[in-house]
């Protein structure tokens, strides 16, 4: 390699070195920009996470407030409807866990007459009212598997079996129904709970149904007072 070639070679190397430096500088600047963008994105993501959590908490709080207000409205509506609704109303208050006396009356009429039938009915029903309130008596069993497990009345329970043998299917069913309702509505307290009920469809009435019924009852009451 002669002097001229060496010179061109050195110039070329210097040129490449300069371009390499410029390229490194560009890369460094781009990396800084990328780091800045990355930082901004992380900050934005963190902010969105915070806003999302805040929004989620806010929505949960609103739902909880609405649920509480709904329960309060139902309680107040139940109190007022107990004063106004008659036995023929489709939407009225039902006492969940109340022991139906009719099967007891009919069963006692078969065995006894007159005052004795009434006396025996009162004694028998009183005994079972006490049984229903007894927290130590838990005649239930679990059926189903996984998420479908539920508690049902165990008809092989000794007290229930004896009741059916002595007083028949209808009396046993009355006790069974009361047990089911108590277990659903107030398993720990074991006392009767008033509920807004749709008697035509045999289900819990909606708040809307209750309000509509209350409006009807108030109109009827007003008319009776206006035109006695």
Asked whether residue 129 falls in the same domain as residue 180, the answer is yes
What are the tens digits of pLDDT across the range 134-173?
A: 989 999 999 988 888 899 999 999 999 999 999 999 999 9
Structural domain count, the chain: 3
pLDDT at 211 over 80: yes
Distance, in Å, from the CA atom of 99 to the CA atom of 132, rounded to the nearest integer, reads 9
Q: What is the pLDDT of residue 61?
A: 73
Whether residues 102 and 178 share a domain: the answer is: yes
On whether residue 216 sits in a domain, the answer given is yes
How high is the pLDDT of residue 39? Answer: 81
Residues 223 and 205 in one domain: yes
User: Same structural domain for residues 121 and 159?
Assistant: yes
Per-residue confidence (pLDDT) for residue 83, from 0 to 100? 78
- Looking at the fold, whether 86 and 115 belong to one and the same domain comes out as no
Banded model confidence at residue 122, pLDDT cuts 50, 70, 90: very high
In this structure, the answer to whether residues 105 and 187 fall within a common structural domain is: yes
Same domain, 183 and 171: yes
Residue that wins the pLDDT comparison between 72 and 140? 140
Q: Are residues 154 and 218 in the same domain?
A: no
Read off the pTM.
Answer: 0.64
pLDDT of residue 160: 96
Largest interatomic CA distance in the chain: 141
The answer to the question of residue 67 being in a domain is no
64 is a domain residue: no
- pLDDT beyond 70 at 101: yes
Q: Are residues 122 and 184 in the same domain?
A: yes
User: Which domain covers residue 208, as residue numbers?
Assistant: 72-94+194-228
Give the residue, 175 or 14, on which the prediction is more confident.
Answer: 175
Radius of gyration of the chain (CA): 39
Is 70 exceeded by the pLDDT of residue 85?
A: no
Find where tokens 């006894």 sit.
112
Helix axes 114-133, 158-167, angle to 10 degrees: 170
């Amino acid at each position: 390699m002669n002097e001229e070639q060496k010179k061109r070679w050195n110039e070329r190397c210097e040129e490449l070195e300069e371009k390499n430096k410029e390229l490194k500088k560009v890369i460094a600047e781009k990396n800084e920009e990328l780091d800045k963008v990355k930082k901004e994105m992380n900050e934005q993501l963190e902010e969105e996470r915070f806003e999302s959590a805040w929004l989620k908490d806010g929505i949960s709080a609103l739902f909880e407030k609405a649920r509480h207000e709904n329960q309060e409205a139902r309680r107040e509506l139940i109190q007022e409807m107990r004063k106004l609704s008659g036995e023929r109303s489709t939407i009225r208050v039902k006492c969940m866990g109340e022991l139906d006396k009719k099967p007891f009356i009919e069963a006692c009429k078969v065995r006894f007459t007159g005052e004795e039938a009434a006396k025996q009915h009162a004694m028998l029903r009183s005994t079972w009212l006490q049984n229903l309130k007894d927290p130590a008596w838990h005649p239930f069993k679990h059926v189903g598997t996984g998420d479908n497990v539920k508690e049902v009345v165990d008809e092989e329970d000794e007290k229930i079996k004896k009741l059916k043998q002595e007083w028949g299917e209808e009396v046993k069913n009355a006790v069974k129904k009361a047990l089911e309702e108590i277990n659903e509505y107030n398993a720990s307290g074991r006392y009767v709970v008033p509920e807004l009920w749709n008697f035509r469809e045999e289900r819990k009435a909606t708040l809307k149904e209750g309000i509509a019924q209350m409006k009807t009852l108030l109109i009827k009451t007003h008319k009776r007072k206006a035109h006695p």
